[in-house]
Chains A and B, each alone.
Chain A
Amino acid sequence: MIRGLYLNYYFQKMRLVLTIFFCFFGLLISQAQIAKKNRAFPSVDIKTVDGRNFNTSEIQNDGKPIIVSFWATWCKPCVKELNTIADEYADWQDETGVKLVAISIDDARNMQKVAPFINGKGWEYEVYVDPNGDMKRLMNVLSVPHTFLLDADRQVVYSHNSYSPGDEQELYEKILEQTTK
């Protein structure tokens, strides 16, 4: 009897799961835009490095491109990428007006270290913290570093996962494509 009840519960659960899955499949084929290149930049509450609430819709750059880089204080390649760009950031800004927004995925363990960390590095970036991972999930970021480039309409036009020396050149070429359009 108990086993029967359990199985019944299980099948109900499976049916529910399948229904939801097909609902979504329906969505997919019902012309919802599967954005291959362009996607809108999400709006969600994250934190400033000093702990205030901040909505990502306020990330703006007067119609000029924006680099959004997901990173963490413990992630060496992330720090390497941001350090490398920091050396050229002033030139990039002069030439293209680009702005870099670094979103840290540090959790409670390291969150308080973010502000002193960026100052210690001498970075000039706009930095936010996403301790609950809300922004990370909406942007489908699986691992850091993950870097996005937004165009004048704040649509994602390019993204790159991981960092190797030289990757910043490809990023810069993509920024130039935006500014010379």
Chain B
Amino acid sequence: MMSFFYRVIFCIILLGPVTLFGQTDDSQTKGKWGEIHGSVQFDAQYYNPDSAIGAPPVPEEFLMNGYADLIYTKGKFTAGLRYEGYYNVLQGFDTRYDGQGIPYRFATFDADFLNITVGGFYEQFGSGMILRAYEERGLGFDTFIEGARVKSHILGGIYLKALVGKQRFFFEHGEGLVRAFDAEISLNETFKALAEKKTRLTLGGSFVSKYQKDADSDLELPENVGAWAARFNLLYGGFNLSGEYVSRGQDPQASNELILDNGDIRPNYNMGDALLLTGSYSQKGLGIVVSAKRTDNMNFRSDRTATLFDLNINFLPALTNQHTYLLAASLYPYATQPNGEWAIQADVSYKVPRKSKLGGKYGMALSANYSRIHGLNQMIDENGTGYRTEFFELGQLYFQDINFEVNKKLNQNHKLTLKYINLFFDIEVVQGLTGSKPVKANIIIAEMTHKLASKHAIRWELQGLFTKQHFKDWAAVVVEYTWSPHFFLAFIGQYNYSNPNPTQRIFYPTVQVGYIKDATRVTLQYGRQRAGIFCVGGVCRNVPASNGVALSISTSF
């Protein structure tokens, strides 16, 4: 009975605008009936067995992920849904994506000062360290909240958001209930006297609480866990200083358990907190960013039994350079350690002006990036219910990246990029490979784009990764031919030529061909592939490891 009622209400919400606004005769008016837009994406792969590269066997041989998004808009009203089908889910994705359904559906009404959404929604408060519901399809992450959300800016410069709901968990919902509130005030917009001031200040604050029943008969677990955050953003000319502090209450959970010296595993009753500070300065031709982050026990999930990537309410950004060149991106990329880390990063980019001595006719772009991440020294309390840390004390070194890049247009038809990366990567901590020594690697990359004719170009990349640890040295080559605006053909080869195990000195070749028309894209690929972010034919996306034939089709309208 209830579900019938629900269905009728939903239909009225969805069809209401059509019947309400559909009474006029002027059927020629553009968009009178509203507009429907959407996108469709299929990623399919036929898998060849390949035990040499450690590709897991695929009994189905053929796997496919499919997505279709539809959004209907009529004036201030928007409604949408997403169909997802996994027949079965592609390798590298979570196998709990099983079958098909319409997990995401929503309706939004936007009256100038009030924006109301029922159904699924994505949201981010501040830097996301307290709350971020987001989709990263290439990785198979989707943590939208299904429930209700109200956003409002009643007064100039004051923005309020309130929401309640449960998080998506594959084709179901997480057990915990999420309640959240966020307020932001832009002082220069709110107070007329400050409107023309050169200094601009924005302040914000959030409160997020989750509820989950304590089903454990032995332990007293907090059923309501609250977290608060305060943030600021200060601007003065080219200077920008911003920061956010987050604190979470006691929340013993599967992903922050304490392991005592005698091997006992105990619930962790520590509070959690995180601090992020960023300062930047920029003017035409120069940009400098320095940031620091300290996180301690900041796992925040809507289910205390969840682990890995499941049901995260918040998002802890990794303060490292996001590399996209094959070897740098996919072999040793850093992942945030939510249980505790200290991170700093500095980034400088400079454009040497045109017609200068160093810049030549076309100028030259230089950039440098430094990041370093340490763990925290956590001293477990005598009673084994928590641990102590010193705020400024650095623990073990997890990661360091020093890199330089030069971009130069040599002449009308040639563009050159050179990059050097020096890495320190604690593979034991970041990838969980117990007993492995930290990897110290040097990476050298050269990329050249050669314009053959006005719409024909060849781009090649040569890359080398040199290390004495783990799989030792790698070489990679990319050759890509593009015929604008419709075709591309690419060859990618990677070779682990000095692997300590001679049978693992493997060559990974891949051939890709693609056709693009407006917002439609078809790609066919054959070969062996490693995991990572791959950029070919002008697009970047995350691809899992495999051997076989892959077909991707995507379009939006």
Contacts and interface: CB of A to CB of B under 8 A. Distances in A.
B457 A165 contact: yes
A110 B319 CA distance: 8
Interface in A39-90: 39-40, 42-43, 45, 50-53, 72-77, 80-81
Query: SS class of chain B's interface: helix, strand, loop or mixed?
Result: strand
A7 interface: no
B555 to A, nearest CB: 9
Interface string B341-377: 0000001111100000000000101010000000000
Interface string B445-460: 0000101001111010
Given A39-B37, A122-B351, A170 B484 contact: yes
A38 B72 CA distance: 14
Given A15-B7, A32-B36, A133-B122, A166 B457 contact: yes
Interface stretch (B283-291, B388-396, B422-430, B503-511): B283-291
Contact of A108 (B110, B137, B317): B317
Interface stretch (B50-58, B208-216, B513-521): B513-521
A159 B519 contact: yes
Nearest to B320: A109
Given A32-B36, A108-B132, A169 B14 contact: no
Contacts of B521: 143, 161-162
A72 B134 CA distance: 16
Contact of A77 (B122, B351, B540): B540
Contact of A165 (B69, B78, B365, B484): B484
Size range of the chain B interface in the assembly: 35 or more
B377 to A, nearest CB: 26
A1 B104 CA distance: 30
B186 A145 contact: no
Contacts of A50: 200, 233, 235, 240
Contacts of A38: 30
A180 interface: no
B315 A143 contact: no
Contacts of B454: 166, 169
B283 A112 contact: no
Contacts, number: 272
28 contacts: A20-B7, A21-B81, A26-B15, A27-B14, A27-B36, A30-B22, A31-B22, A32-B72, A33-B34, A35-B36, A50-B200, A108-B129, A109-B317, A109-B319, A113-B280, A119-B238, A119-B282, A120-B286, A121-B349, A140-B69, A140-B557, A143-B539, A143-B540, A146-B519, A159-B518, A162-B516, A162-B539, A170-B484
Interface of B: 3, 6-7, 10-11, 14-15, 18, 22, 27, 30-39, 41, 69-74, 78, 81, 83, 101-102, 105, 110, 122-124, 127-129, 132, 134-135, 137, 151, 153, 159, 184, 186, 189, 200, 202, 233, 235, 238, 240, 242, 278, 280-289, 291, 315, 317-319, 322, 324, 347-351, 363, 365, 367, 449, 451, 454-457, 459, 482-485, 488, 516, 518-521, 535, 537-541, 554, 556-557
Given A50-B200, A109-B318, A140-B71, A28 B484 contact: no
Interface of A: 12, 15-17, 19-21, 23-24, 26-28, 30-36, 38-40, 42-43, 45, 50-53, 72-77, 80-81, 107-113, 115-122, 131-134, 137-146, 155, 158-167, 169-170
B520 to A, nearest CB: 7
Which 5 residue pairs are nearest across A and B when measured between Cβ atoms?
A116-B287, A120-B349, A166-B484, A162-B538, A120-B287
A28 B233 CA distance: 44
